Structure 1
Amino acid sequence: MSFWPDLGFGSNPYVVKPLPSNSDGRELLVGRDIELRALLRRIEEGDTHVVLEGPNGVGKTSLVAVAAWVAGERFRERTTSQLFLPLPEALQIKEDATEFISECYFAIARAFLENEETLKQADRKVPKTRDIKAWLDAPLLKGRGINISSPFGGGGLTGSASANSSTGFSNAGFRATIRSWLRDAFPEGTGGIIGVIDNLELLETSATARRLLEEIRDPILQLGGMRWVLCGARGIARSVAATPRLNGVLSDPIEITPVADEHIPRLIETRLRHYSVKDASKAPVSAPSFEHVYVVTHKNLRDSLRHAQSFSQDNESEFFLTKTDSEIDLAFTVWLEGQAMAHEASVKMQPRTWKLLADLAQFGGTCSPSDYDQFNFNDRAHMRKNVVELERYGLVNSSKDDEDQRRRSIEITSKGWLVHYARAEGLAAPTIPGV
């Protein structure tokens, strides 16, 4: 027996990964019409790279993927002369600029290889890819002990490694070739390849993010024929977008807030309908239950989908087939409460730290170190001591950024919101001082 087909679905309707850059992704992107139009305007009409700022799990990567597809559809429908193609996948930011630059070039090469036919149909200058393919598949000659494989399954080249010279390429030659491909296929004002540089917050401090972005400014952000979208959380994207060396290179950030409550029923119903293969499909997590978990997770769409998926997989298909909708909704509520209580029971903290978690939730779930007086601390150091304790239990994420104390770099995690839910709803025994 197979779980999802038994319930009338072709596959998991609560899939967590970002939406695909195709018509399916456009159908499933619900409640984002305003943000989609704003992003497309920046991509199609602006001359700076786009910056998106918003909480983790809010759907930034999905938004960019769908925007890239919509931009491509406009060209296919002859409503614009600009041709846009997406990179195969989002690139994760790294502190090693040299390695990251190499990953960007490999991804761009892959985009050309995967879209040769599209470029031909668009009457764009199609590069001769045979030599690049051979080079990417060539064995590596080790340099300084480095041996790195390319994303294409064959030999790649980063750092001081060098490819088999019989292919006719060096590292510099490879990059020069990619730059020429971009110039030839996408002359000024005719579109480009849309790439995502994701998770800027992983760099933790504004100084680190600024250093890396300044290092990749010329080799990556100044590449003709590329339209980059940089995504970050906890205020880091906003803090680096306007620095002097990046001014005129990056746009002012677009703030991506959680999908509004009013759109959530349609969002989950669209997913259930899209993945359904039978008229009488049985949803493990209904629209009302999904609305409930969306509130519990503080409107984190990714976490809400993850909880819906976990609940589904914790039960046999027969459970859902033999229960009424109201019984399943009740079972999900009990399951979610159980998850919250289990997390709460694993945390042993002093009352002052518990109060900080409750106050931070009341504050909206994020704050900056300079907000210490809002939480009745005498200084940053006393607040930081309690934040460290919350971090130890995984209830908050924080980036210690001594250079920018105003950045909203402290944020309640998914586990933190569940623990807060347990305590706010009185699901767990109260903490006894001194115990």
Structure 2
Amino acid sequence: MNQLDNLWAKLGFRASPYDTKPLKVVKSDVELLMGREHEQIDFLNAVDSDNQGVFIISGVPGVGKTSFLNVQQYLLESSEADFGPKILAARTLCAIQPSDEPEIIARRCLQSYCSSIEEFCTIQQISIPAYVSKIIQWIHQNKPATINIGFSVFGHGISVGREVHLPSINETTFETFVEIIKCLSIIVNEELKFSGSFIVMDNFENLHEEDLKDCLTTFRDTLFDISNIWWIIIGQSGLSSFIQSTNPKVFQRFSASLELKPISVENLIKAVEKRVKKFHESKSKASSPISKEIYIKLFESSNGEIRFVFKYCNSICIKLVQSVRKNLLDKKLKFDDKNFEKLMGEHLIDKQIEDSFSHFCLKEIITNEFEGHSLSQNEKLVLKKIGELTKIKSKDFEHFRELGVTSMQKFTNNYLTKLSDQHLLLRRQEAKIITYELRGISVFANEYDLLE
């Protein structure tokens, strides 16, 4: 048991019920997804309509896009979904970086696809198909190799394609990556007996506008045209409408899109209760260490970011244990269970942390985090003004002239983009229209008068 496990054991848990990492492609995480029944039907219906396609999942940060996808992937891969084909899950996502070129993305997709196949075989304790092993070896060794590409299927067998001498993976062309992914998809279908495979591109909005358009145009009749591959594009809110407005020809090739909205407060509470019961040492006596009032306060202040709620609930619990341990030190008491539980009881009511103490912890935690950004006085005043206006666009720079803002470009570059990158502003996009509003920590900073 590590130190963090010991800390949660003090609160009666085997592990933190507020883990901020996305749900995994595993059976035990399926029950932790709450309030997504209608979206699940939309997703399953789309992949049930064809043997290949492109599906966009978008939403504000922390809304649970990856968690939603991973649960659907598990249900389809295990054939536990109410309907839909059996599809190999993408356990390794292809992360998109700014200025990525098509061949770099294709290479990363190939690497993530191979990792997903390898992990599935490991979980199922079956041999990795020989062709997949050869591709994995070529990737890892990063040196020339002779590989068959151009497979096809006739009757009940695979017709081996032509033998090609490839350079190292770093020197391979985009077209060759496409051919190899085609071959892998055939192997997955014929040898692993799946109807298809998922390949997931994450954070697609990281690409600059022109790079995004160029990549999608390149992918339209190449990667996106591979049989038995479902491409999932994950991005921020408004990605689908942005692509539709800037690249309609590519958008026409997309199968469907889903904009995930924040779940309801009621479903948030249910999700927390599920996690508390799952990780508590005693399921019959499991109770949440944080009150509903605090959950709701965090949820509403963060525009429905589940990740934000869990992050600060986790921090409050850690802060409580830290405070009790410091109290033991100051009183020169032994660090044993009896003394710990006695002092812990001073902050608990019916095994729940007092709201007053939670608020005290929140203020201290968020004040330290906010001050860590070392914002200038003008940046703080810009945030304060945005809070007063509720929501703004770049063209609203006129409201900030008294702070020395003289143009829309300077306002965007010097303030909006920077503060958004620091997760202090929430950036929303609908087609080409971009709005900004205070996000999570800035909402609290405004409430705590840290923007004065």
Q: What's the TM-score, normalizing by structure 2?
A: 0.73
In structure 2, the CA distance between the partners of 1:338 and 1:114, relative to structure 1 (3 Å rule), is closer
Whether 2:171 is the aligned partner of 1:160: answer yes
Could you tell me which residue of structure 2 aligns to residue 268 of structure 1? 272
Instruction: Indicate the larger mover: 191-200 or 129-138.
Output: 129-138
Aligned partner of 1:289: which letter?
A: I
Asked if 1:224 is matched to 2:227, the reply is: yes
- 1:356 paired residue number: 385
Deviation of the 1:391 alpha carbon: 5.0
Q: Which residue of 2 aligns with 1:323?
A: 347
1:51/1:241 contact within 8 Å kept = no
Q: Which runs of 5+ in 1 are unaligned?
A: 143-155, 162-169
Structure-1 separation of matches of 2:232 and 2:409: 33
Give the drift of 1:171: 9.5
Checking the alignment, whether the CA contact within 8 Å between 1:8 and 1:282 is kept in structure 2 is no
Q: How many pairs are equivalent?
A: 389
Go from structure 1 to structure 2 and tell me whether the alpha carbon gap of 1:85 and 1:190 turns closer, same or farther (over 3 Å shift): closer
Name the CA shift for 1:229/1:245 in 2 (closer, same or farther; >3 Å).
same
Deviates more, 1:219-228 or 1:342-351: 342-351
Q: Superposed, which structure 2 residues align to 1:193-204 within 5 Å?
A: 193-203=197-207
Give me the whole-angstrom Cα distance separating, in 2, the residues matched to 1:80 and 1:351.
51
Relative distance call for 1:182 and 1:92 in structure 2 (3 A) is same
C-alpha distance in structure 1 between counterparts of 2:369 and 2:123, whole Å:
50
**What letter corresponds to residue 103 of structure 1 in structure 2?**
R
Is the 8 Å Cα contact of residues 53 and 233 (structure 1) preserved in structure 2?
A: yes
1:368 and 1:405 in contact (8 A); partners too: no
After TM superposition, the structure 1 = structure 2 runs for residues 375-394 of structure 1, keeping only pairs within 5 Å, are 382-387=407-412, 388-389=414-415, 391-392=417-418, 394=422
Greater alpha carbon shift after TM alignment, 311-320 vs 193-202:
311-320
CA shift at 1:58, angstroms?
Answer: 0.8
1:53 to 55, 58, 64: 58
Equivalent residue of 2:112, what SS?
Answer: helix
Structure 2 match to 1:84: 87
Q: What is the DSSP-based 3-state SS (H/G/I as helix, E as strand, rest coil) of the residue aligned with 2:354?
A: helix
- Counterparts in 2 of 1:385 and 1:353: CA distance versus 1, 3 Å: farther
Distance (Å, rounded) in 1 between the aligned partners of 2:311 and 2:138: 41
* Alignment-derived partner of residue 210 in structure 1: 213
Counterpart residue number, 2:362: 336
CA distance in structure 2 between the aligned counterparts of 1:113 and 1:343, rounded to whole angstroms: 40
Give percent identity, aligned residues only: 17
Residue aligning to 1:104 = 109
What is the CA–CA distance in structure 2 between the aligned matches of 1:233 and 1:430, rounded to whole Å?
A: 27
> Would you say the 8 A contact 1:231–1:237 is kept in 2?
no
Aligned Cα RMSD in Å?
A: 3.9
Unaligned runs of 5+ in 2: 146-166, 323-339
Task: State the Cα distance separating 1:227 from its structure 2 match.
Answer: 0.8
Residues in 2 aligned to 1:226 and 1:368: alpha-carbon distance in whole angstroms: 38
Cα distance in 2 for partners of 1:235, 1:81 equals 27
Is residue 394 of structure 2 the alignment partner of residue 369 of structure 1?
yes
Structure with greater proportional strand content: 2
Contact 1:85–1:193 (CA under 8 A) maintained in structure 2:
yes
Partner SS for 2:196: strand
Which among 305, 309, 316 is matched to residue 311 of structure 1? 316
CA distance in 1, matches of 2:58, 2:367: 32
TM-score of the superposed pair, with normalisation by structure 1: 0.75
SS in structure 2 of the partner of residue 302 of structure 1: helix
Displacement, 1:63?
A: 0.7
For 2:32, the aligned partner's letter is L
Aligned match of 1:233: 236
The more displaced of 323-332 and 312-321 is 312-321
How far has the Cα of 1:430 moved from its partner?
7.9
